[in-house]
Amino acid sequence: MVDLLGDRAPGMYLDDDGEFVVTVTDDTAAQQVSAQGVQAKRVHRDAKQLRDIRATLKEMGIPGTSWWVDPVANQVALGYDTTVTDGELETLQNVTDAADGALRLEAMNGDLSALAMGGEAIYSSDFRCSLGFNVTNSDRSAFFSLTAGHCTDGSLARWYTDLPDPSDPDKNLLGLDLDSSFPGDDYGLIWTGSEAQDWGMVTLGDGNVRPIYDHGEAYVGQSVEQYGSTSGLLSGEVTQVDATAVYRGEDGEDDVVEGLIGTDICSQKGDSGGPLFAGNTALGMTSGGVILCLFPTDSWSFYQPIGEVLDEYGVELY
């Protein structure tokens, strides 16, 4: 419905009563939404106005910032972390003032970064990350594991289910690093062979698992869970969709990742690539966040949506 209405429907969210709300800019669009049995809310700014602000922020590309459309407030929200300088913050404040209420600033009490340390822990010679989801091709002749793109590099390097053993390179072998997409996106593919891994399940810790039957698109207000090899099982709520994050790269290059899901969960280093899910539905894989979450309300984590990854590689959950 939102796609059909185009720029006249700048957002959608789940309200406190668990009902979907579609924001619209005119009475005709409101009537169309209501005719489908969905609640419509009139707002002032259309999708193009909000899109133009996001384009301005992308052009600025200040590291340690992230932005997204807040459908409830009909604004673009702009988060900035503790690495943003006073001069950069003044620039952001000037842009916010010029936006005449269409943009707001939010402080992040920590440093925004991709979360690699060097689901269940997986190891390369350089990193510890988390496995996202197991997938297969259409005829089930090859099997793969998905994780974060900033963990992988497509070099055919080996990944393991435990720390690598220099004396036995095949011990605890998970598979080979087949592909990576980062920055821009944040996903990677590990080829695990011609036999299935642990099917369509994610770990919940302490020997408990959750079957994953399908994948879906996240929406603001949705209750979700994530599992990471550092943090374990955490729960929270989707606060952002189609968000952009500008990570400060350790090599001095700034890494911009777009189209992310945002939540109020506090992820940690090593959680990268771990699954984000709602019930039995896969939603995404951990990308980055603010790693020093002082209070629950200060938590920021970002995720690569799973649907894009499945489409790109032509694979499916199993």
The 8-class DSSP code of residue 86 comes to H
Peptide bond into 169 cis (omega under 30): no
Distance separating alpha carbons of residues 67 and 107, to the nearest angstrom: 12
Residues 6+ apart with CB under 8 A from 84: 62, 63, 64, 65, 92
Pairing assessment for the beta strands 281-290 and 301-305 based on DSSP bridges: antiparallel
Amino acid letter for position 27: D
Q: Is-contact 85 66, C-beta < 8 A?
A: no
Distance separating alpha carbons of residues 44 and 10, to the nearest angstrom: 10
Known catalytic residues are 150, 186, 272
Continuous segment of H or E residues that includes residue 92: helix 86-98
Q: Is-contact 273 91, C-beta < 8 A?
A: no
Strands (E), 152-299: 158-160, 173-181, 187-193, 201-205, 208-211, 214-215, 223-228, 232-248, 254-263, 275-278, 281-290
Distance separating alpha carbons of residues 285 and 282, to the nearest angstrom: 9
